[in-house]
Amino acid sequence: MSVKKRTSKNVLLDTALNNFYGAAEEMGLEDGLIEILSRPERSISVSLPITMDDGSIRVFEGYRVQHSTALGPAKGGFRYHPDVDIEECEALGSLMTWKCSLAGIPYGGGKGGVSCDPLELSMSERERLTRTFAARVAPIVGEWTDVPAPDVNTGAPEMVWFMDTISKLRGRLEPGVVTGKPISIWGSKGRTAATGLGVAICIKEMLKAEKIDVKGTRVIIQGWGNVGTYNALSLVEAGAKVVAIADVTGGYYVPEGIDVARAFDHINNHPKKLLEGYAQPGLERMSSDEILLVDAEVLSPCALEGAVNAKNAGAVKAKYIVEGANGPVTPEADAILAEKGVSIVPDFLANSGGVIGSYFEWVQNLNGFFWTEEEYNNRLIPIMTENFHRVMNYAKAHEVKMRRAAFLVAIKRVADAVKMRGTFL
């Protein structure tokens, strides 16, 4: 490979680039295709002047990156977090490209967000911020161009505000411009649980492949939003024991098992949807990072990137890691864990249930015809199961780790589309 490799000081982007270049070199991808696929098609930064509740004006920075539209409209969420920047969005957008490709759905990859602390914003301030962001990125989003979705610290309310703003600007209803909407407003039954359900499917299929009974298997879940909670609920229903959970308020460890239904109800009744104040017999409090190291068979990091890194990977006791978050295991940690014999199901395979679910919602929006939750899940489960085994079988046949196998399978589909479509515009 004679292409000069791009590098970045942003850990997540550097990780994404290294994974891409490694897979591209291994598969013998042409230099021209490497150049194209290592860069986003479009990146924009926008300023968002917002009138705060006290009458003052604050200007926030927002971003939207379209990494690839070779297979279809760019697809990826937008998040609200203090650490959001253009490089993070590029990295996450590229992961969405490979995720959609691997899932076999007609989407490319994109990502966006606003640099802010959402916990400091009132609901009315969040609405103004979302509507202003929607207006600023309106020229590049649409049902057949770029379809955002919920991400870290965004959810159904933000999707409704985004859709409503775009629809009013264009003078027509455009429900398919975002996914993750509430069921009452063009949403889809089953969408809320889709990502977590998909992660749980991968955990169960991995255990089955390893001939391990899911019943009684101990699981750690870092992150207690939609992904973590529905992952936990599905696993407990199958007989697994979730021994530790965490959110921004810290870690919660019960060796005999967290009462997952109780913890789920707790956040739903908490004004800020947090685990703060959660209690049950035998509970031990610790930091969110410390729960990664407790004794369990499976670790499922479902929070932010870089949770498992060079500093703590050596102390991880779990033998299986299934990534619910984007980029939760750094390359340095990957190498350490490989030496320990830890098996990892990569993020863009494990958490693809969300984007597959978003695809289902989009299809229903375009047709104006809605499915039952049972129909939704009956379509999701076989796709996730098939994708898991396709990657696992490829990994075994080519004697590579699952992360590399997933990249090889996903990159080839996008590269083939780019070659067929050509390089015009």
CATH of the domain at 317: 3.40.50.720
User: What confidence score (pLDDT) does residue 318 get?
Assistant: 98
The alpha helices in 27-71, defined as continuous H runs, are 31-37
Asked whether residue 403 is assigned to any structural domain, the reply reads: no
Decide if 111 is catalytic.
yes
Domain match, 220 and 155 both: no
Query: Which CATH number do you get for residue 121?
Result: 3.40.50.10860
**Beta strand segments in 254-407, E:** 284-286, 298-301, 320-322, 343-345
* Domain ranges, residue 142: 42-173
Asked whether residue 358 is assigned to any structural domain, the reply reads: no
Q: Helices 11-26 and 331-339, interaxial angle, to 10°?
A: 60
349 touches 402 (CB < 8 A): yes
Give SS3 for 321. strand
Domain match, 238 and 340 both: yes
According to DSSP, the residues that pair with 58 across neighbouring strands are 50
Asked whether residue 32 is assigned to any structural domain, the reply reads: no
311 touches 334 (CB < 8 A): no
377 touches 349 (CB < 8 A): no
CA distance 169 to 239: 49
110 touches 146 (CB < 8 A): yes
User: What confidence score (pLDDT) does residue 366 get?
Assistant: 97
Q: Which of 285, 317, 345 is the last residue of a domain?
A: 345
Domain match, 166 and 202 both: no
Asked whether residue 280 is assigned to any structural domain, the reply reads: yes
Asked whether residue 300 is assigned to any structural domain, the reply reads: yes
Domain match, 219 and 336 both: yes
Number of compact structural domains in the chain: 2
Q: Which of 121, 146, 173 is the last residue of a domain?
A: 173
Domain match, 125 and 233 both: no
Asked whether residue 7 is assigned to any structural domain, the reply reads: no
408-to-98, 160, 333, 395, 398 alpha-carbon distances in Å: 9, 36, 21, 10, 11
Q: Is the dihedral of CA 50, 52, 58, 60 positive or negative?
A: negative
Domain match, 211 and 322 both: yes
Q: Which of 75, 99, 111, 181 is catalytic?
A: 111
Asked whether residue 405 is assigned to any structural domain, the reply reads: no
Query: By C-alpha distance, which of 304, 363, 386 is closest to 92?
Result: 304
Q: How many H-runs (helices) and E-runs (strands) does the chain carry?
A: 13, 13
Domain match, 203 and 341 both: yes
In degrees and rounded to multiples of 5, residue 337 shows phi and psi of -65, -35
User: What confidence score (pLDDT) does residue 331 get?
Assistant: 86
202 touches 388 (CB < 8 A): yes
Domain match, 303 and 241 both: yes
CA distance 232 to 238: 10
Q: Which long-range contacts (CB under 8 A, 24 or more apart) does 133-139 make?
A: 133/46, 133/48, 133/62, 133/78, 133/162, 134/161, 134/162, 134/165, 134/166, 135/165, 135/169, 136/46, 136/47, 136/48, 136/62, 137/44, 137/46, 137/62, 137/64, 137/112, 138/165, 138/166, 138/169, 138/170
Domain match, 87 and 198 both: no
Whole-structure pTM value? 0.86
CA distance 107 to 263: 35
Domain match, 206 and 162 both: no
User: What confidence score (pLDDT) does residue 425 get?
Assistant: 62
User: What confidence score (pLDDT) does residue 130 get?
Assistant: 98
pLDDT along the chain (425 residues), means of 10: 87 89 93 96 98 98 98 97 96 94 96 97 98 98 97 94 98 97 95 93 97 97 95 98 97 98 96 94 96 98 93 98 93 94 95 94 97 95 96 94 93 96 81
In degrees and rounded to multiples of 5, residue 403 shows phi and psi of -65, -45
Asked whether residue 17 is assigned to any structural domain, the reply reads: no
Domain match, 210 and 163 both: no
Q: Which of 345, 360, 376 is the last residue of a domain?
A: 345
Task: Using the CB atoms, write b or e for 132-170: b if 16+ within 10 Å.
Answer: bbbbbbeeebebebbbbbbbbbbbbebbbbbbbbbeeee
Domain match, 198 and 331 both: yes
User: What confidence score (pLDDT) does residue 1 get?
Assistant: 67
